Structure 1
Amino acid sequence: MDISDVQFTRKTILVTGATGFLAKIFVEKILRVQPNIKRLYLVVRASNPHVALQRLHSEIFGKKLFKIQKEKWSEKFSTFLSEKVVAVAGDVSLHNFGIKDQILIEEMLEEIDIIVHSAATTRLDERYDVAMATNTVGAYNVMNFAKMCSRIEVLLYVSTAYVSGEAELILEEGFHMGQTLKSPLKLDINLEKKLIEEKLSELKAQNVNERTITSIMKEFGTIRAHFHGWSNTYTFTKSMGEMLVTNMKGNLPLIITRPTMMIGTHSQPFPGWIEGVRTIDFVFVEYFKGALTSFVGHPKTTIDLIPADMVINSMIIALLVHSKSNSSNSLIYHIGTSLGNPIKLSDIQDIMHCYMTKEPWLKNSGKSGAFYEKFTFNPSYTEVHEFPQNKRSRLKRIINIYRPYLHFSGIFDDKNTEKLRMAIKGVGSVERKFNLDPKSIDWKDYLMNVHFPGLIKYSMQPKM
């Protein structure tokens, strides 16, 4: 498809999970490059619309992520937001997001053209009941809502590349209902929900305290995920969400995006913005603090990292292509770098050491870069004995969570995403505004001059 311009003029978009890392960047990009959209409905968990609006301003628009727009609009920024953005107090785990205002629901059902479902709990070892409610039942509720929207053009469901398990080349293929990663087994989502209810009833009958319930429900999720072949509760419940939306969609155009490990922005709205300590960033942060010089992982492992703005660019181009195509087919897009621009853990070891010797972060401790040991990824890492007793159990848990990813041998095929890149190739203004080419990343330059400084600025310093 020839794309000469990217426009969602007068379109209304619903975004779930609006306060999440990825959704914030999506909202920023849409408002910055598509100011002629009609409206953005942003669903946030809140007890009422007033609290929802407060959360939007403190957790989204109050962030430095929006500094370019604040400079552009100056004192008119609040007015611009009030004209374009509607705060929706809702919860995806509930029918119609639990919205009690029937007039608002009717307005949304009449107006919405595009839905971006990014609400999720991304904690890898989340409580099974919590992950099921948000990641699986949430997907079901969003699809039900989408099918009631009279103008709906496309639903985009944000999943994760790691739903597919491990293979030499992992294709952009969906699940059929009941499929597991252990082929003789059949997955019954209703049975899983029933098992959760039974487990919770059993624990409540035993008068168990909330902390113990949390611990047991986390373990229960891991057990059920492993039973069906997934490495953790997150990928297991996201897989079930994929199955539901694919099975339910009917004629509704459906996009499933599967990003790999998301890290800070590559270039837009500016380089290096990130929020929180995400996936492998734990390793970087602990090394920069001088707390960790080794961790589980094989140096030859290709680690699939993708800057978050490239994920957003892929999502927007996919939405545009599908909203123009009038096709009811669903497509899955792997958004990663392992095929087009791979980087190994051994490369990351070298870059981390280079960064710390060039620019040691802990200057006030009296250390110079020469004193920093080179970080190593060790396949049989178990060295928790060197940590204080109170940190050992946390580190053991983190090791167990990360082990599958840092020994992961699969490469993610991205034929569908390549078609998106081809659709904008040669269209200068679009290519510049929506860079989604992993080959454009210079890993050493990006990590040393963009990601690491961004991580220190936004995730390691207080009140950033």
Structure 2
Amino acid sequence: MLLHVSTACAAGEQEGLIPEKPFLMGETLREGTHLDIESELNLIKGTLIQLNNNFSSEKTERRIMKELGLERARQFGWPNTYVFTKAMGEMVLGHLGCKLPVVIVRPSIITSLLKEPLPGWMEGIRTIDSVILGYARQALKFFLVDPDTIMDVILHLVNIVLCGVFSRRCNELSGKYRLAMKLIELYAPYTLFKGCFDDMNLERLRMSTEQNNDGEYYFDFDPKTIDWDDYFYKVHIPGVLKYLA
């Protein structure tokens, strides 16, 4: 059996109930389009060859390839290259793994460890941790997010940045504003997400493991047993500051 870790965000910016189903080869999130993975690979190779022939710098090459990836992702309905390539990975596994049992798990935002072996431990800065660190370092005073998907626009900071009265302070705030806008652009598809993921397969698996273990915990992954306030304030945020700051 092959276990593949994908991401729930591979669903893109869909709304409503999102079922647990694999991506079929060539399937996209934008109606009227078809994804040919081989063509996408050839496009990447061709662009790199052209850049090398033009003696482009590493910085220029990196910028152009990022722009190309984002353009191709949005062409087929995904907001960025991360979730775009994750979806393509699922397609390839589904297509090539017909003779091998394949399990695809799609976690949402992954945070730090709850308990063992080190509560709060994490490997590298991920997703919301960039926001936590930005706030802890006083580089980020606001962020675009609302559980009811209502956009809360902070105009006061913009006015301060544009006033131009104190040059040094203006530059400082401008840098913080650019950081905030960059993070907003990156995370908006997730902080304003309007979909709801169906998890009946996972729930059936959890119930099955409980029934087969005489009531004892064998592999506890029920989110209802977690005190989320206690976890974030006493485990995750202290872990971010300890291991990443």
TM bucket (normalised to shorter chain) is: 0.7 to 0.9
Write the distance in 1 (CA, Å) between the matches of 2:7 and 2:92: 15
1:409 aligns with 2:194: yes
Give the drift of 1:280.
1.0
Greater RCO (CA < 8 Å, at least 6 residues apart): 2
Percent identity between the aligned chains? 42
Is the aligned partner of 1:201 residue 2:49?
A: yes
Distance, in Å, in 2 between the alignment partners of 1:217 and 1:235 is 16
Distance 1:429 1:408 in 2: 36
1:381/1:406 CA distance change after superposition, 3 Å:
farther
Q: CA separation in 2, counterparts of 1:401 and 1:413?
A: 25
Structure 2's unaligned 5+ residue stretches are 162-169
Secondary structure at 1:169 match in 2: strand
* 1:157 lines up with 2:4 in the alignment: yes
Q: CA deviation at 1:429?
A: 7.8
More strand per residue: 1
Residue aligned with 1:291, SS: coil
What is the alpha-carbon root mean square deviation over aligned residues? 2.2
Answer whether contact 1:299 1:378 (CA < 8 A) is retained. no
Q: Which residue number in structure 1 is paired with residue 22 of structure 2?
A: 174
- SS of the equivalent of 1:295 reads coil
Distance 1:387 1:406, change over 3 A: farther
Q: 1:285 and 1:448 mapped to 2: Cα distance?
A: 14
TM-score (norm 1): 0.47
Contact kept? 1:266, 1:446, Cα under 8 Å: yes
How far the C-alpha of 1:442 sits from its partner, in A, is 1.4
The Cα shift of 1:265 comes to 1.0
Residue-pair matches, total: 231
Counterpart Cα distance in 2 of 1:451 and 1:391: 24
Q: Which residue of 2 aligns with 1:419?
A: 204
> Secondary structure of 1:256's match?
strand
**C-alpha distance in 1, partners of 2:68/2:171?**
28
Contact 1:266-1:272 within 8 A present in 2 as well: yes
Pairing 1:359-378 to 2, within 5 Å after superposition: none
Deviations along 1:84-118, whole A, 9 cap, x unmatched?
A: xxxxxxxxxxxxxxxxxxxxxxxxxxxxxxxxxxx
How far did 1:450 drift? 1.1
In 2, Cα distance between equivalents of 1:428 and 1:288: 45
Contact 2:142–2:180 (Cα < 8 Å) also in 1: no
Distance 1:200 1:424 in 2: 49
Shift of 1:395: 4.2
CA 1:270–1:226: 2 relative to 1, 3 Å: same
Matched, 1:434 2:210: no
User: Could you report, residue by residue, the CA deviation over 1:1-46 in whole angstroms, capped at 9, with x for unpaired residues?
Assistant: xxxxxxxxxxxxxxxxxxxxxxxxxxxxxxxxxxxxxxxxxxxxxx
Q: Say if 1:424 and 1:430, in contact at 8 Å, map to a contact too.
A: no
Distance 2:171 2:135 in 1: 14
Cα distance, 1:263–1:220 mapped onto 2, change above 3 Å: same
Report the Cα offset of residue 399 of structure 1: 2.1
CA displacement, residues 391-430 of structure 1 (integer Å, 9 cap, x when unaligned) = 6555433221111111111111111111111112152685
Q: Does 1:272 align with 2:57?
A: no
Distance in 2 (CA, whole Å) between partners of 1:228 and 1:178 is 10
- Rounded to whole Å, the distance in 2 between the matches of 1:237 and 1:164 is 12
Structure 1 counterpart of 2:85: 237
Q: TM-score, normalised by structure 2?
A: 0.86
Offset, 1:295: 0.9
Note closer, same or farther for the CA distance 1:387–1:182 as it changes in structure 2 (3 Å cut): farther
* Equivalent of residue 148 in structure 2, options 287, 291, 300: 300
Structure 1: runs of 5+ lacking an equivalent: 1-153, 302-376
CA contact (8 A) 2:70 2:79 kept: yes
Give 1:183's aligned residue. Answer: 31
Mapped partners of 2:136, 2:234: distance in 1: 15
Task: Give, in whole Å, the separation in 2 of the partners of 1:430 and 1:235.
Answer: 37
